[in-house]
Amino acid sequence: MARLPIIIDTDPGIDDAMMLTLAFAHEDKLDVRLVTTCSGNISQDKTNYNARTFLSYIGAIVEVARGLEQPVFRELEMAEEIHGESGFGNIEFPPPTLPVSASPAVAAMRETLLSSEEKVTLVATGPLTNVAALLLAHPEVKPKIERISWMGGAAVGGNMSPSAEFNAYVDPHAVEIVFRSGVPVVMSGLDVTHKAFVTLKEAQGMLEIGTEFAEKAYGLITYYLDVIKRTPFHEENYDQVLHFHDVCAVMCLLKPELFEGQDCFVETSLEGVTAGATVVDYTNRTGKEPNVHVLHSVDREVFVAEILKAVKVISDRVEAL
């Protein structure tokens, strides 16, 4: 079977690192042609550095392009209190060997799409600033995009405000541009990502692998345990459950049978107390044509098993470098 060509737009970020682990563990199925970095969890300087240092460490050979510094209409709000000042908690990786691309993210995306003989899927696990800029500046690329698989949004509740998920809150205008673009969108919002969790006991399976990478991966994800309790939206069992939000945007491409969702019309609130809320019309009250496939359920046990397999694959690869 031919590999699925993808571009990854990301803001590493702890769960972004786990998303990259899954994607590059499946190079037999995914052809990652470009990685671009967005500003979100941390600043552009840090997200680009983190993407390059992490990908260098796991032996990935891929172009990494620098994205836009901040949303066009809003000041950038970051999540250093969750991911740590560096974005990787207290885990360090060696300096990157992968360079910064000579092309900025939007130009690199355009070139990658237009030079592809087949359609390419965009995987976005941060604010949609880069993707929206691409679609506005270069609408000619739309026929080359198979779909956009985005981790963001929520039908019910938020983690940045009562109604908005973080990635949507940071750049709601970009979300609305993408939703109105006519390009197929799959939304892995909090409705599904809150069900895509790994228990602390399950995560300890990484330590049983016994490699440096597995220990670093475990250290990354358990960093959350010390900081989530300080957020206003933490759950009662925060110290036993680890959420792998961004992983869903790749997992749903690799294992679509694990997920359930529904085609819906979705509109984004742009201003005021509800800014960043993704309003999902589950019952077709608006009468408008669906523009987003909204995921809401996942087979958690298989999801967890696939993550542990990916950590083992990358662990073996790092050990062999």
The residues annotated with a catalytic role in the active site are 245
- For residue 143, count other CB atoms closer than 10 A to its CB: 10
* Residues 6 or more apart whose Cβ sits within 8 Å of residue 209: 311, 312, 315
State the amino acid at position 121 in one-letter form. T
Give the chain as a 3 state SS string: CCCEEEEEEECCCHHHHHHHHHHHHCCCCEEEEEEEECCCCCCHHHHHHHHHHHHHHCCCCCCEEECCCCCCCCCCCCCHHHHCCCCCCCCCCCCCCCCECCCCHHHHHHHHHHCCCCCEEEEECCCCHHHHHHHHHCHHHHHHEEEEEEECCCCCCCCCCCCCCHHHHHCHHHHHHHHCCCCCEEEECHHHHCCCEEEHHHHCHHHHHCCHHHHHHHHHHHCHHHHHHHCCCCCCCCCCEEECCCHHHHHHHHCHHHEEEEEEEEEECCCHHHCCCEEEECCCCCCCCCCEEEEEEECHHHHHHHHHHHHHHHHHHHHHC
N-to-C CA span, the chain:
27
* Residues 6 or more apart whose Cβ sits within 8 Å of residue 313: 25
How far lies 79's CA from each of 13, 140, 197, in Å? 9, 34, 20
